[in-house]
Amino acid sequence: MSFGDTLIEEDGFGFVPRLPGTELEKSREIVRRYTLTNKHKASVRLISWGASIQSIKVPNRDGKLADVVLGFDNMDGYLKNRYMGSIIDRVANCISGSMMHLDNVIYPLSINDRAGKDRLNGGTVVFDNTNWQSQIVNNRVVMSHLSQRYSQGYSSDVLTQIKYTWTDDNQLHINIRATSTSSTPVNITNYCLFNLAGHGTGSKELKKHILTVNADSWICMDVKNKLPNIICPVDGTECELRLPAQLNQRRLYDIPGGGYNHNLCVNSPSCWCYRFHARILHPTSGRFLEIYSNNPGLQVYTGNELPHQYIYPPDLKDHEWGNHKNAQINFWKSTKEITKKKATEVYGKEGVPYRRHGGFALSPQNYPNVGNINFPSCMLHPGKMYTHDMTYKFGVLFEE
């Protein structure tokens, strides 16, 4: 891992109000930006707001650089839109019922899902919408944040440190460490939306991506409780991604909800060993991305919740749907649901509108619904350290 020649530049990205209760709370604090450039001129931009990835520029097979991360040019975009490139805490994914049972004590947690029942991705005011302390240390960018006891209902202080390293072979290493003052669940990851054709190329290019996931099973819904509780084999399901699968419209609309938002169980001799999770390729540009992590799960998401102001037709005409009747039904059902909603555009970098299926996320993490005793434990105890090492490895596939 060579990163000694990486150039890191620091500047300001914007300002945010200081949190209530702090000194000088009426003043504003600066959001810092760090640009990491390796010897091949590929670069990563990080901002201290949410410890987020704001930009990654990597070459295609012709050597042309493009920004492959969905994000914003200023703080206004990040204040209006959560989770874009940020760190997700304290417990990524969902906690059913927003109730945490710990040492015979029930802790009510804040509710933030649309149905008003569960807790998603940490809560309301958490890691992704906090300005982290940040600095440059030994050619790396290090960010830290103290989440205080009873924040969002959790029973412990948690101190978290994120270390970003950008190497000469276009690997972004993200090393996450956390400690706590009492027992508490912890499941921290990075949530970044990518499009390997370029951040603004939209669903047309996403549908060309080819995805492979190293997983024989996935977390499926308990129909009775409507919770992700059951480990099921991927055989014969939409989560059969062990062989390369194109993310075309027929595949996405064959899934209820119009795309992937699934947690897959990554194959490994041990739940917590560092290993290959997934690979996704954009054949036209030749760019590919590989995911590595020491966590047991991978959340696969295809931008289903991005705005859908216009209804794009499926890849296939009516007579070409063949045996994919579910795809046809789900497409028209999704179309009707979308037309009922008021269109709300999300304008990203360079003023580009980000719309449904305009990007994908591959986020390594523990399994969802932390209360399930059959899943790997995510409890962090005093005196122990939470460790999550993950890597985004970019490369180019050259034509023969």
* pLDDT at residue 243, as a whole number: 97
- pTM for the full predicted model: 0.87
C-alpha–C-alpha distance, residues 240 and 262, integer Å = 12
* pLDDT at residue 102, as a whole number: 57
Average pLDDT score over the chain: 85
User: Which one has a higher pLDDT value, 157 or 321?
Assistant: 157
User: Which one has a higher pLDDT value, 312 or 195?
Assistant: 195
* pLDDT at residue 155, as a whole number: 74
Residue 111 pLDDT grade (very low, low, confident, very high; cuts 50, 70, 90): low
Residue 119 pLDDT grade (very low, low, confident, very high; cuts 50, 70, 90): very low
Tell me what the mean pLDDT of segment 68-73 comes to: 98
* pLDDT at residue 122, as a whole number: 43
* pLDDT at residue 222, as a whole number: 58
* pLDDT at residue 321, as a whole number: 46
Q: Which CATH number fits domain 7-312+339-396: 3.40.50.10490, 3.40.50.300, 2.70.98.10, 3.30.460.80?
A: 2.70.98.10
Residue 368 pLDDT grade (very low, low, confident, very high; cuts 50, 70, 90): confident
Tell me what the mean pLDDT of segment 120-127 comes to: 58
C-alpha–C-alpha distance, residues 132 and 127, integer Å = 8
Q: pLDDT tens across 287-341, in order?
A: 999 999 999 999 999 999 999 865 444 444 443 445 555 555 555 555 555 544 5
17-21, 40-44, 288-292: which range is least confident on average? 17-21
Sequence spans of domains, the chain: 7-312+339-396
Tell me what the mean pLDDT of segment 169-173 comes to: 98
- Whether residue 342 has pLDDT greater than 70: no
- Whether residue 279 has pLDDT greater than 90: yes
Tell me what the mean pLDDT of segment 125-153 comes to: 88
- Whether residue 109 has pLDDT greater than 70: no
